[in-house]
């Protein structure tokens, strides 16, 4: 994949922010930084980067969110704010074996989608 100036701008922003952003957020943040890019260019570059496996795309009820990580990982979503936290979670081998026995499938990879609220201490 060719890394154009616009793709580099989008990637740099996602790596700097280290959060999940909508295409509109990316458009606004880049333009606020003086990096002029159009709506269409943002969408096209996000789709190209996601298709190439460079960034991740999460489909949410509120729309698509893009993140800087493309490696397998899980997510924890705050039920109150909608904030998404990346998690590196490993399930116990016994649990994976239970799932395989129950489903008849060999688990090759997995991601978890968790949701919750901050604990009240």
Report residue 1's pLDDT band, with 50, 70 and 90 as the boundaries. Answer: low
Average pLDDT over residues 23-39: 94
3-state secondary structure string across 12-24: HHHHHHCCCECHH
How many CB atoms lie under 10 A from the CB of residue 41?
17
Report residue 120's pLDDT band, with 50, 70 and 90 as the boundaries. Answer: confident
pLDDT of residue 35 exceeding 70: yes
For residue 72 the two structure tokens come to 């397998």
The tens digit of pLDDT for each residue in 93-114 reads 999 999 999 999 999 988 888 9
pLDDT, position 121: 67
């Amino acid at each position: 994949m060719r890394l154009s100036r616009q793709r580099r701008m989008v990637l740099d922003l996602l790596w700097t922010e280290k959060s999940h952003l909508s295409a509109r957020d990316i458009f606004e943040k880049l333009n606020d930084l003086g990096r002029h890019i159009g709506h269409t260019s943002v969408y096209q570059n996000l789709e190209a980067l996601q298709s190439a496996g460079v960034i991740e795309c999460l489909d949410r009820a509120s729309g698509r969110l893009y993140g800087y990580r493309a490696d397998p990982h899980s997510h924890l979503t705050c039920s109150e704010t909608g904030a998404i936290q990346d998690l590196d979670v490993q399930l116990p081998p016994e649990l994976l074996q239970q799932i395989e026995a129950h489903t008849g499938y060999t688990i090759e990879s997995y991601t978890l989608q968790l949701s919750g609220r901050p604990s009240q201490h």
